[in-house]
Amino acid sequence: MELIQVLKKRRINPFTIIDVGCGTGILSIAMAKLFPSRIIAVDNDIHSVQMTKRNIVVNKVVQYVKVYNSSGLKGNHLNSRAKYDLIVANILFKPIKLLMRSFIRNLSKAGFLILSGLNIKQTRQLKEISKQFGLKVIDERKEADWGSLLLKRTVVKDQLN
Ligand SMILES: C[S@@+](CC[C@H](N)C(=O)[O-])C[C@H]1O[C@@H](n2cnc3c(N)ncnc32)[C@H](O)[C@@H]1O
């Protein structure tokens, strides 16, 4: 949430956003209130999808957030070629690592990626992986043994497949 606010403070307004592993939808709801954006919230757990659908109604952001049952960026309702200005993934290290390539492929030129749900060691590893993908660390947060990263795409890797 703090890294999302960093973007707001820098007056960066991502137009297309995807929240991968939305859980209760808390990050999507916050982003819908902060940015004039179109937001997609996905989760591979049907109960989380139902919970998010309920919560966007309660929080009056239903017109800005679409919610789908999907594993990562793959799902019937998702355009596999869609480009997002911001991808947020507060999931665990293993799924993040597995999804990293698809995140880069679907990140718009100069798009942002917020990754969290990582312990400090994993945060360090992910920083190294991010470099290989042409991502730059813009900011980060550490709390107890938890870390999160705000990354920006700097190199266009068209050859990813
Ligand atoms: C730690 S919870 C975080 C929930 C929410 N983003 C938040 O910040 O409160 C992680 C969520 O990611 C979902 N998840 C894990 N792997 C996923 C994947 N490959 N694709 C979609 N959702 C996934 C889980 O079902 C769970 O709801």
Concatenated DSSP letters for 10-75? Answer: TT---SEEEEES-TTSHHHHHHHHHSS-EEEEEESSHHHHHHHHHHHHHTT-TTTEEEEE-BTTB-
**CA-closest residue to ligand 1 atom 24:** 21
CA of 154 to the centre of ligand 1 (A): 26
**Ligand 1 atom at minimum distance from 70 CA:** 21
**Ligand 1 atom at minimum distance from 99 CA:** 19
**Ligand 1 atom at minimum distance from 90 CA:** 6
**C-alpha angle 9-13-16 in degrees, rounded to nearest 5:** 140
Q: What is the pLDDT along the chain (161 residues), one digit of tens a residue?
A: 999 999 999 999 999 999 999 999 999 999 999 998 999 999 999 999 999 999 999 999 999 999 999 999 988 888 888 999 999 999 999 999 999 999 999 999 989 999 999 999 999 999 999 999 999 999 999 999 999 999 999 876 544 43
Domains of the chain: 2-153 (3.40.50.150)
CA pair distance 83, 103, nearest whole angstrom: 9
